[in-house]
């Protein structure tokens, strides 16, 4: 099973141009208006959450959007302000609500399993799965997705992996005009699902003509990269920094409770023939050399060090055991409560001098092994 900070995949099957959502902060043109595909992805403990924002240059009744995911996602409305915040948080440095939900439970429609249907914000959404690319393409064509038989190969690749597809059109009752679509004035969508690794399903976009620029903001327990994308920003965030995103994200709350995360910003431009799914991997030392020095150590040790409470508890137990031994060997040292406290304090400090370096050495060993 593949997955996310589920990373964003945009596919517009009808004529039109997909571009990024609006906002204003520094780097406005580069980060907000230029990328054709743009996502904020949060990943923690096997849950990927992707916020996907787009602009569409075309009539609202021609808008058609297909997003493949490894498993059935939960789809909700997001907030375009999130992308402006991400742009503000990632300056270039040293480098180039769910509505009308109806669970259908496997309704069969023209050879396609309709898993879920809902209206989220301005979008009518249908989540489907199929075992046959030709049947899926026909189903999509009947609903306004202008695919030809060349799509069978790409759709078949996802079907072979057991992926499902989220098909979206603009709700005809929504007050969405061509101008609003072009300006990116409709709220983005949030996809949440379980996954065992970070993947950006870019392959579906190879059905679009021409190159596409992809901009990804990734927040996870490690800094992530991909060999085909430029790492434009990387830094570690403390829990109180992640907390600012909780109004937009459930996974942000999990990262905040875990003590923090890493924020990375990736950008790449891809020709259709180069558009393969991007499996993101933890960034290596060489990639992180341009960023804060502490990031490299944090990157390699995240999840491997003892929490502070565990270290303190270990030191207290060690000091108590040492005191018990000394009380039997040298009872004169424990002639009064004051002496006992002094001995315990000295032992605690001594144990700290021994166990803390051992913990750090073990952490360095894990880093080298990785």
Q: Residues 139, 58: one domain? A: yes
Q: Residues 191, 253: one domain? A: yes
Q: Residues 239, 319: one domain? A: no
Question: Do 164 and 128 meet the contact criterion of CB atoms below 8 Å apart?
Answer: yes
CB hemisphere CA count around 287 (13 angstroms): 23
Q: Residues 77, 148: one domain? A: yes
Query: 50 in a domain, yes or no?
Result: yes
Q: What are phi and psi of 239, to 5 degrees?
A: -55, -40
Residue 182 and residue 58: Cα distance in Å, rounded? Answer: 7
Question: What is the per-residue DSSP string for 239-296?
Answer: HHHHGGGTTT-HHHHHHHHTTEEEEEEEEEEE-GGG---EE-EEPPHHHHTTS-HHHH
Q: Residues 198, 325: one domain? A: no
Residue 27 tokens, joined: 């780097």
Q: Residues 147, 171: one domain? A: yes
Question: Do 39 and 51 meet the contact criterion of CB atoms below 8 Å apart?
Answer: yes
Q: Which residues of 296-325 are buried (b: 16+ CB within 10 A; e: fewer)?
A: bbbbbbbeeeeeeeeeeeebeebbeebbee
Q: Residues 363, 278: one domain? A: no
At residue 16, the pLDDT reads 38
Query: 11 in a domain, yes or no?
Result: no
Per-residue pLDDT of the chain (370 residues; tens, 9 = 90+): 444 333 333 333 333 334 332 222 234 344 544 457 889 999 999 999 999 987 666 677 777 889 999 999 999 999 988 998 899 888 765 443 334 444 344 455 667 999 999 999 888 999 999 999 999 999 999 988 888 777 899 999 999 999 999 999 888 887 765 555 555 557 789 999 999 999 888 999 898 888 989 999 999 999 999 999 999 999 999 888 899 999 999 999 999 999 899 999 999 999 999 999 999 999 988 888 777 655 655 555 444 445 556 666 777 777 777 777 777 777 776 667 777 777 777 777 776 666 556 554 544 444 333 3
Query: 2 in a domain, yes or no?
Result: no
Full residue range of the structural domain in which residue 364 is found: 308-369
DSSP 121: T
Residue 305 tokens, joined: 């060090």
Number of structural domains (the chain) is: 2
Q: Residues 211, 322: one domain? A: no
At residue 158, the pLDDT reads 96
Q: Which of 243, 262, 294 is the last residue of a domain?
A: 294
Query: 301 in a domain, yes or no?
Result: no
Residue 165 tokens, joined: 């597809």
Query: 6 in a domain, yes or no?
Result: no
pTM exceeds 0.75 for this model? no
Question: Do 65 and 170 meet the contact criterion of CB atoms below 8 Å apart?
Answer: no
Residue 218 and residue 104: Cα distance in Å, rounded? Answer: 32
Region of 203 on the Ramachandran plot (φ > 0 left; ψ -120 to 50 alpha; else beta): alpha
Query: 3 in a domain, yes or no?
Result: no
Q: Residues 151, 270: one domain? A: yes
Q: Which of 269, 294, 319 is the last residue of a domain?
A: 294
Q: Residues 312, 175: one domain? A: no
Query: 299 in a domain, yes or no?
Result: no
Q: Which of 241, 269, 294 is the last residue of a domain?
A: 294
Query: 177 in a domain, yes or no?
Result: yes
Q: Residues 200, 174: one domain? A: yes
Q: Residues 223, 262: one domain? A: yes
Q: What Å distances lie between residue 26 and 83, 89, 150, 216, CA to CA?
A: 12, 10, 41, 17
DSSP 12: B
């Amino acid at each position: 099973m593949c997955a996310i900070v589920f990373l964003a995949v945009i596919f517009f099957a009808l004529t039109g141009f997909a571009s990024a959502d609006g906002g204003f902060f520094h780097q406005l043109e580069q980060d907000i208006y230029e990328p054709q595909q743009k996502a904020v992805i949060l990943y923690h403990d096997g849950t990927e959450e992707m916020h996907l924002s787009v602009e569409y240059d075309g009539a609202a009744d021609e808008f058609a959007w297909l997003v493949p995911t490894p498993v059935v996602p939960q789809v909700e409305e997001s907030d375009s302000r999130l992308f402006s915040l991400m742009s503000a948080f990632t300056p270039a440095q040293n480098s180039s609500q769910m509505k009308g939900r109806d669970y259908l439970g496997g309704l069969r429609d023209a050879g396609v399993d309709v898993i879920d249907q809902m209206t989220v914000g301005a979008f009518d959404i249908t989540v489907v799965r199929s075992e046959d690319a030709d049947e899926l393409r026909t189903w999509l064509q009947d609903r306004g997705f202008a695919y030809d038989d060349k799509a069978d190969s790409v759709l078949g690749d996802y079907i072979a992996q057991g992926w499902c597809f989220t098909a979206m059109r603009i709700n005809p009752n929504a007050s969405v005009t061509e101008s609003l679509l072009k300006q990116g004035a409709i709220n983005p969508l949030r996809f949440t699902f379980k996954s065992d690794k970070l993947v950006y399903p870019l392959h579906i976009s190879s059905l679009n003509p021409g190159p596409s620029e992809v901009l990804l903001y990734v927040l996870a327990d490690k800094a992530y990269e991909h060999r085909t994308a430029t790492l434009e920003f990387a830094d570690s965030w403390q829990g109180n920094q992640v907390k600012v995103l909780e109004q937009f994200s459930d996974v942000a709350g999990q990262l905040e409770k875990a003590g923090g995360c890493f924020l990375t910003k990736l950008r790449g431009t891809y020709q259709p023939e180069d558009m393969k799914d991007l499996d993101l991997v933890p960034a290596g030392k060489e990639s992180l050399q341009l960023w804060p020095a502490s990031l490299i150590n944090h990157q390699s040790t995240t999840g491997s060090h003892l929490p502070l409470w565990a270290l303190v508890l270990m030191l207290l137990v060690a000091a108590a055991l040492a005191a018990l031994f000394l009380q039997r060997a040298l009872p004169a040292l424990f002639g009064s409560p004051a002496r006992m406290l002094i001995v315990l304090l000295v032992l605690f400090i001594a144990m700290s001098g021994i166990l803390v370096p051992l913990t750090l050495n073990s952490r360095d060993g894990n880093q080298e092994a990785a």
